[in-house]
Structure 1
Amino acid sequence: MSFDLAFVVLDPLLGFLSQDSFPLDGDSTVDNLKQQVRKRFKVEEVDVSMLDDERDIIETSEDMRQLSWIVIVSRAALLPSSAKLAPIAATQKNERIWLVVVAGGEDKAATLRTSYQAAAVAATRSKHDPPSHTAVESKLVDEQLLENADAILNGRPQALTGPPVGVYHPVFTAFQRRCSSSDDLSSDDVRSTAHFLAASCRYYQHENTRKNAIGGSLADLMHGLKPSGIFSPCEILDSGGCILEPDVHVTVTSCLLPKRGPAPQIMCALLGEIRNGISSPLEHATHGYRTLCATPELDDVRRGTSMPMFLLSISGPQLVIAGVVFVDRVVVGRLTDTISLVPVQQYEHLRAGTSSFDAVVDRVGKLLRALRESVLELQRWYASTEDMKIAWRMPGTDPHPHLTKVGKYSLIYQARIACDIPSRAIWFASISATGMVDRRCIVKFAPRYDGETHRLLYANEAAPLLYYCDWSDSVGQMVAVYEYVERLEREPEPEEIDKLRLAVAALHKAGRVHGDLRFPNILVTKGKLMIIDYDWAGLEGEVTYPADINLSEECGWHSEVRSFGNIMAQHDDWLVDKLADASPSSFVHSYM
């Protein structure tokens, strides 16, 4: 048997280098192939793997740069140097690629690894003060900075706004849906809520008395989810001697830690009236959560999951519920506004003949019922061995989104993009479907994303292929999945800008606008320009610029652009005209 054996060569980071061939005869071995690759690519280390999974054997006509080699190689079988190729080739079809060569000996996961979580854990472990000492405003001013590894992404300041917590676990959006349920409260829930409100609105001389009163009624509302202590009994601040206690939480044994201890689902911080520069109990509970997640006993849980939990903050007669996860850093998402536990005389209730007390019992009772049901859901998730199976991902990367199926497609996340902009929720991923080889793609979660504008520009060869775009109830965001296109670092050619201008004109003819056609959203690719990021796009006259748009001169907006102003076709045209003068290296973020 003698024919040319087709194979692909990848770099150490599993990026495509070339498609090649090797003259095969009866005595050819894997080592012969390695020698050819060493000579051609001038490398020492060479690995040869066989794609023995039928879904990974690739037609030679495929666009090799678009395939997700990182996932394909993870399923391949490494071949020994002495293995003869002819017997293996006899089982394979011609005109298909079933051998992959990785040239070089570097760490294949190097560029995909994120060091944020490891740095956050190390920084947290280096702190020896309890949460009541770290969660004070005088310290937060210096510590809540983006450059600090253990800064908490809670929106304070605005630059430290993290991605939506619903991206990492569906329990948080499920909680919010339960809050809006119209189902009546049971008589037991009504009575327990009334007792809880009465306890929360009293004044107390001693914090322990307050803790017992509120904690006891809260435990009744949580229906058997027994509170227990996790921190020291009390932590006293020097400034005024005010006692702060993150004193109620609920635990459940996790299957990942059968012998090491509990994994909590809810942490509650109770605090009297705020004074002496002390931060809110929500800050206090968040710092307690960060300390908890960094403990060595929970390393396995943190590496395998995003450690989802609820935070319940009660400050005087005010209540807030938040969701929290630990991914690259601690991310806090407020799930409710600040709710008064003192009856509020709202006009709509008075007009409807409902007493203020009945109204607050109904609202708080339904909210705590939703919390109880959501904590039970989280409890089952932690306890379920099946649910704790984590989708394959590169070693060392941080936890990924929970959404792994969109329409007919399956997703495997590889790395988060632009971690230095905390609010962004965008990932490199691999997409596959029946009869489709794994391909590289981008997955973006956003409050809005206009798929129609994206598809229209793709039809005019000015956008990547959009695989999927729809709202996800389990995430609470729009989900857009589109093909990965490599950005070339070069100036756009005049004819490429002319083609883009024609595509944008077709967009405007259809009555749609994009809104942000600056260089960061223009991919210079082989032979053409492609537009990405359709968060602002939509029908002209309906879509508007965001409130926090960056209006600095460096952005180069049209003079009519304003916060909440309508996005107009002439604004798009203005930015396209400026592309000829823009530099690929210039990047000014669209938001303040």
Structure 2
Amino acid sequence: MANSLLSGFFYRHHHQLGERGIIHPFPFDSTTRVRHLIDHVLEYAGLWLKPEEKFEELKYPKKAAFHIGFLKVDLPLEPIETIQDRVQHWLEQNCEQDPLLSHQEISKIWTNSVDPDSRIQFVVLTLDDFQYVAQIGALPDPKLEPRIVGHNARLKSMANISQLPSPSQSAIDPKSCHNIAGGVCDGRPAGFHGPPNALFDSRLAKLEEAMSNLDTIEVDKVYVEFALKLISASVAFYRQEDERERRLREIVFGSLFPNGEWQRAIKNGKPEAFWLLSLIFELKNERGVGGDARMQCIMDYLKLLNDPDQAHSFRATSCCPSILFALAGTQLDISTIIYTDAPYVDDVFSMNLRTAFDMEDQVLCLARALKVVQETFQQLQTYYHDLPTQRKHGFSSHLPSPSPTEDVSVSQVVGLSFLYKLCQITGGQANFTPSECNRNNGHAIYVAIGTRANSAIPEGQEVVVKFSRRYNVNAHRLLSEVNLAPKLYYSCQVQGGYTMCIMEYVKGETAFTALASQPDELLPRSVYQDIKKAIDILHEANLVFGDLRLPNIILWESRAMLVDFDWCGRDGVARYPVDLNVYAEGEWAEGMERYGLMKMEHDVEMLQKLETICK
């Protein structure tokens, strides 16, 4: 096969190369190997790669075999306009094919004559694109592809766990946990929190809901006895922490949470006790001695996730829900933790275990909390036992999985698959860079896709899903009926006490973005007219919108809509949020204040502000 030729295509998933990606005929003979083809491709790639795209792996042929790969194909060259899409389709259908090895002889791979003028014989990909295409092939539905960006960002974040300080150091210096990989989202410093863990795991949702309603939990004398023993053991003084640990282990934990790993060393840590990820326990002899037991629990969890012999295998297919049980002297703190795009901690129970005049109330409260924790612990034990065999990979570990009831998921009720978190800055997919995470981690707004025919949500249509403690569904529906708010498809309460609203995804831009992009231009007069009409309709229903800022006005085909009905409430009855930013000078109407009464006159003044920036 002397003097034969091969043609190929350099595939870049996030770059539409089209005709530029076609690799012109490469001559080969019986001595030519794949590594020679690599040299040819690298020389060609240098012609079209932009300077910022010239990755180190594409500069050095001796390393290139480890960073770019080749697949044997046989695809028609024409029509060139569709070559990228046709190659992508072929890759998705053949994602399990192994790449060619650098030492292989070309003549033994292509043993028959080929036509390099009308067909391509090989495809080249970077390793990142190899991984991405393989992930697309593993999806249950190609329409779920947007999930992969968030999934890969999550794994990249997890790769930084090894750089975090040890659990014992973190307990002494909690700030050190925030110096690496964006930190731990446990409520400090300001803004380091996320959507509630209840939205991501039904077991934690049930736990949070039960902890918020402990008076409704029935307990028997067994749990009362556990509570009495735990208080008795906690109020005693001990010379050493290990004395306290032995007593607690003997009289409480051995029965409530059996078969734990006590004082077992893991990679870069040694928790007081752990039950894989179902529950993690840390102990301090007294409050303030030896650091923060709760923070040490958090770091134990992360180190377990990073230990190949422990929970490492769960990272790709689970948000890794866990219970943290921290006891420092008499101070008990119970929290939940998950890992989505970052580790998020929710505190669900706290008590100073002491003897007191109200001993009966305290014992019953603790007994109820212990029962709830034990039940959730048992559910998590079952979950992790079954996870390797029952969980299919949908690249959705960083996305919500809310449940309207104890046994039914949202996807079962309305046919819904989550795709990505919405960026409040751009209105597109959040990219999980550190700066963007800090701006977006606190909200709970996502994009999903309808997956069922004859459902409330059109099949195949992208929708916005918002979760909120406070949301005026009736006000939203009132305006959506006259096209002054996105169409509201469905709303319900989900476990954890949150309202879920599924609405039309209006892919416009906010009035804020429109002004920022053209600061010298005024908004169309129709924007003011539409928003005034919307406010008039709300006022006729005795409702105040409240948050009439530019980010809450969506511009779409020369029309304007209102979004974000979290604050909306009855005139003179509803109140503004307690954390309203009163320091934003000139942003609010006169009289708007934290926890102040909402009044129609505030909307009117905000409308006047809007009119000044419209034609």
Is TM > 0.5 for Structure 1 vs Structure 2? yes
C-alpha offsets along residues 22-66 of structure 1, whole Å, 9 cap, x if unaligned? xxxxxxxxx99972x81xxxx75133999xxxxxxxxxxxxxxxx
C-alpha offsets along residues 170-212 of structure 1, whole Å, 9 cap, x if unaligned? 1123124444264553333333322222111110012111101
Measured on the aligned residues, the alpha-carbon RMSD in Å equals 3.6
Higher RCO (C-alpha under 8 Å, 6+ residues apart) = 1
Matched, 1:340 2:381: no
On the 8 A contact 1:458/1:464 being kept in 2, the answer is yes
Q: Which has the higher helix share?
A: 2
C-alpha offsets along residues 450-488 of structure 1, whole Å, 9 cap, x if unaligned? 11111111122211011112211x243111111111124
CA 1:13–1:534 in structure 2 vs 1: closer, same or farther (change >3 Å)? Answer: farther
Matched, 1:186 2:208: no
Counterpart for residue 352 of structure 1: none
1:172 equivalent among 178, 192, 204: 204
Q: Distance in 2 between matches of 1:340 and 1:275?
A: 14
TM (normalized to structure 2)?
Answer: 0.68
1:282 equivalent among 275, 294, 299: 294
Q: Distance in 2 between matches of 1:398 and 1:184?
A: 34
Q: Distance in 2 between matches of 1:199 and 1:389?
A: 40
Q: Distance in 2 between matches of 1:468 and 1:333?
A: 27
Matched, 1:410 2:429: no
2:446 equivalent among 421, 427, 437: 427
Q: Distance in 1 between matches of 2:471 and 2:247?
A: 47
On the 8 A contact 2:230/2:248 being kept in 1, the answer is yes
C-alpha offsets along residues 336-363 of structure 1, whole Å, 9 cap, x if unaligned? 1x20210343xxxxxxxxxx33322211
- What is the Cα deviation at residue 402 of structure 1? 4.3
CA 1:299–1:189 in structure 2 vs 1: closer, same or farther (change >3 Å)? Answer: closer
CA 1:116–1:545 in structure 2 vs 1: closer, same or farther (change >3 Å)? Answer: farther
Q: Distance in 1 between matches of 2:389 and 2:380?
A: 11
Counterpart for residue 27 of structure 1: none
1:361 equivalent among 338, 363, 384: 363
1:293 equivalent among 298, 302, 305: 305
Counterpart for residue 490 of structure 2: 468
Q: Distance in 2 between matches of 1:108 and 1:187?
A: 52
Q: Distance in 1 between matches of 2:486 and 2:480?
A: 6
Q: Distance in 2 between matches of 1:332 and 1:555?
A: 35
Counterpart for residue 500 of structure 2: 479
CA 1:444–1:131 in structure 2 vs 1: closer, same or farther (change >3 Å)? Answer: same
Counterpart for residue 226 of structure 1: 259
C-alpha offsets along residues 355-384 of structure 1, whole Å, 9 cap, x if unaligned? x33322211111111111111111122223
Higher mean C-alpha displacement, 290-299 vs 455-464: 290-299
Counterpart for residue 459 of structure 1: 481
C-alpha offsets along residues 425-467 of structure 1, whole Å, 9 cap, x if unaligned? 1111112432343110111111111111111111222110111
| SS of 1:173 mapped into structure 2 | helix
Q: Distance in 2 between matches of 1:446 and 1:45?
A: 42
Q: Distance in 2 between matches of 1:12 and 1:554?
A: 45
2:273 equivalent among 248, 259, 273: 248
On the 8 A contact 1:161/1:423 being kept in 2, the answer is yes
- Counterpart of 1:573, as a letter, is V
- Counterpart of 1:427, as a letter, is Y
Number of equivalenced pairs: 463
Q: Distance in 2 between matches of 1:177 and 1:398?
A: 22
Q: Distance in 1 between matches of 2:188 and 2:264?
A: 25
CA 1:493–1:150 in structure 2 vs 1: closer, same or farther (change >3 Å)? Answer: closer
CA 1:160–1:410 in structure 2 vs 1: closer, same or farther (change >3 Å)? Answer: same
| SS of 2:490 mapped into structure 1 | strand
- What is the Cα deviation at residue 108 of structure 1? 6.6
On the 8 A contact 2:155/2:316 being kept in 1, the answer is no
On the 8 A contact 2:471/2:565 being kept in 1, the answer is yes
Counterpart for residue 540 of structure 1: 571
* Unaligned 5+ runs, structure 1: 1-10, 16-30, 51-73, 83-106, 236-243, 252-263, 346-355, 584-592
- Counterpart of 1:217, as a letter, is I
Q: Distance in 2 between matches of 1:143 and 1:518?
A: 35
CA 1:469–1:230 in structure 2 vs 1: closer, same or farther (change >3 Å)? Answer: farther
Matches within 5 A, 1:492-507: 492-507=523-538
| SS of 2:160 mapped into structure 1 | helix
| SS of 1:213 mapped into structure 2 | helix
C-alpha offsets along residues 527-549 of structure 1, whole Å, 9 cap, x if unaligned? 21111111111222222111111
Q: Distance in 1 between matches of 2:284 and 2:370?
A: 19
Matched, 1:160 2:187: no
| SS of 1:544 mapped into structure 2 | coil
Q: What is the aligned-residue identity percentage?
A: 20
